[in-house]
Structure 1
Amino acid sequence: MLEDCQQCENQEKDRMRQLEEEVVRAREVQEAERNERVRVETERRAQGQGEATQRDNDLRAQLEEITNLLHEEAECEQLKALNDERYAEKQERRGKKDSDVDVLKEMVQQLIAQNDAIRNEVVEHRVSLEGKPAEARAFRVIVIDSRRLAQKQHEDILQAVTFTANQQIPFNVQKYLDDFSKALSDEVKMLLAEVGNLREEKLNFRWVLRSATCK
């Protein structure tokens, strides 16, 4: 009887120990499951945060790229406006320079035409003055006045084209006008010499004629 009670007590203890072991195992399983859930949740949150950070970085990069594009476009517009303004100014200067050159050419052509007219007039008078000393002297005065007029026109042209010459016209205005004036001066000198020769020849002829008559 006593042995039976002892045996029952031992069985009860074994049963209690088994139950405690099952409880421990159950708690371990529960703790493992809880830890797993925490790990999964932590990873999910970390992944979500990483994805959110990546999306934020991507959005910032896109906004920065758009800002740069807008800035570059604004700079391009400013550069285009500046180039257009410079081109307009260049065209205006070119048009003014062309106008100055046209005025200069017209003045030079007028001077050439006047010189041609003087030359033709000198030739005509030279032919008509043979045997007319008094008229030859008057004509010489006219030639001198014409020379002075040409010199005055030369000076006026130089003064009028000073600005244009300073703008680096493709040809040398000063040298051209100086050469032209020199040529005109030489031609006038030559015509004066011819008039003087005609007068001298007439005087010599009269002297010879008078000498022959006296003999």
Structure 2
Amino acid sequence: MPLGPLRPSPLVEQAVDHLREQISTGHWPVGTRLPGETTLARTLGVGRSTVREAVRALAATGLLRSRQGAGVFVIADRPTEDWPTRLRRAAVTDVYEVRTLIEVQAARLAAERRTDEDLAALDAALAARHAASGAPDSEFVDRDIDLHRAVVAAAHNPVLTDLFAEFAPALRQALIDLVELLRLRADDPDHGRATHEELVRSVAAGDAEAAALAARTELEATLGRLRSA
């Protein structure tokens, strides 16, 4: 589709869409140098600042790159997905398999490194999970995730903490759907209470292998339900 003047609003978003279309349809193949800022502004019927913002947005997605003194060039014909976007698009079972790897090791490290402050946080998170037994599924899942987050935090490894933070949003809705679909709390409102208590107890006792086993048992049980749902 040839370029043409844009509607009044929102101009930057429209400019991004028009320029992206020129790239994705092959009108501007990879390696092409874009027309100058002034030319693009005149063709699209917008100001140069709008073009500048649109180019910046497309550069952030990996489609364009500015070369000092040479101009702006197309470097890809499809955007590069960031990590959160890739997680949202991934199968929840694939995400959960990796989460299991992370949290089993986190539980082991938490048992070895936990502080008094960590233990207090774990007790509070476990109590909040129990208290949510009468709450809607979404709140119960949130409290469950909070408990697992506290275990990861007790491992005192910032990379594990960051990884869990990325995984949690991708899992939340899937876990809510799973609880509702399988009616896991219909007869057991505090579903998984025993395994979570064992996890916290093992971390508090400093028993790394027991903590890892408790985490693995809980997470692999959920993974099994995801696969059969």
TM-score tier by shorter-chain length is under 0.3
Normalising by structure 2, what TM-score?
A: 0.24
Q: Whose Rg is larger? A: 1
**What TM-score, normalized by structure 1, do the two folds share?**
0.25
* Higher normalized helix content (fraction of residues): 1
